Amino acid sequence: MRSPTLAELPPPPDAVTIWPWTRASPTAPPVMPDGSPWPLVSIVMPVFRQGRFLEQAIRSVLLQGYPRLELIVVDGGSPDDTRTILERYAPWLKYWVSEADRGPAHALNKGFAYAGGDLLGVLNGDDFFLPGCLMQVAESFAAHPEAGVISGHGYFATPDGTLGVPTFSDPWNLTWFCHGACVLVQPSTFFRRDAFERAGGFRENDRVCWDMELWAEMAATGTVFRSLDAFLAAFRLHADSITGRPELRHLRREHARSVASGVLGRPESAADRALHYVYRAMKFSRHPARTVRQRLFFYNTLGRWSL
């Protein structure tokens, strides 16, 4: 389906003017710059108890001005107003469901079973795309036919959706990835259908590092990763998110170590733990001011110095 116009969607709340409430992205030309048709893009949105953020996320997809788009929303049976919001936006969704599931990875696999796109992306119900995101992604995949994954940059955002400091995807490096120093901004990362299928989809037993595990599985199947030097999405910081909840920090670290061990083919060693600090120190030394600004933003938003 095509992206709807601003006038076709429900009106914004009073006094709310930030993207994507009162403006839309420029409409894409009829064809791509090389004259070929735009590829179909499928976005799957896993949701659970994110009703206060959900409408902004949905609108940020629908108002991309992209001509071939489908949005699929999978809610885990949220007890808030999620279902009401989904009913309101149902005419512009390819598919939506609100029922109990086994976590975000299971929800994503359910959603992608309905996706027909050549290019795929994941947007959590508390994050949002930036204007012009999908056109840039489609053009980048066309320019790099060998790439199975393309990752751009983003911004950390406050709970009310105001953009804060930038966050950057690292150029893909499997060694650095295994030692915690190569990070892809999840909502700014997109992949081809064949890369996703070769990787076997998401591992449903992983409730906190499912995106990291997918990158590892894709790398293991020979997928080529490319960087896009553009800001594509916002990653919202708030106390109720998986990333923002301090009680899940230990679980995230344990799952990340498990993913790294799977790539390395062996348990983490003392040398690996030392390299973890070495590579992260090297990364910090390249952009110290950037890292300090991010830490200050975390503290001002979440009351602590890091995720």
* Residue 303 DSSP SS3: coil
Average pLDDT over residues 42-51: 96
Whole-prediction pTM = 0.95
**Alpha-carbon gap, residue 78 to 83, rounded angstroms:** 8
Using alpha carbons, select from 58, 60, 56, 71 the residue that is nearest to residue 24.
Answer: 60
Which pLDDT tens digit goes with each residue over 135-170?
Answer: 999 999 999 999 999 999 999 999 999 999 999 999
> What are the structural domains, with CATH classification, of the chain?
6-302 (3.90.550.10)
Which pLDDT tens digit goes with each residue over 69-104?
Answer: 999 999 999 999 999 999 999 999 999 999 999 999
* pLDDT for the residue 242: 67
**Alpha-carbon gap, residue 160 to 13, rounded angstroms:** 13
Which pLDDT tens digit goes with each residue over 239-268?
Answer: 887 665 666 677 778 888 888 888 889 999
**Alpha-carbon gap, residue 99 to 299, rounded angstroms:** 35
Q: Return the H-helix or E-strand segment holding 106.
A: helix 104-112
* pLDDT for the residue 245: 67
* pLDDT for the residue 97: 97
Average pLDDT, the chain: 94
Q: Return the H-helix or E-strand segment holding 191.
A: strand 189-192
- DSSP 8-class letter at 145: T
Omega before 171 cis (within 30°)? Answer: no
Instruction: For the chain, give the longest Cα–Cα distance.
Output: 59
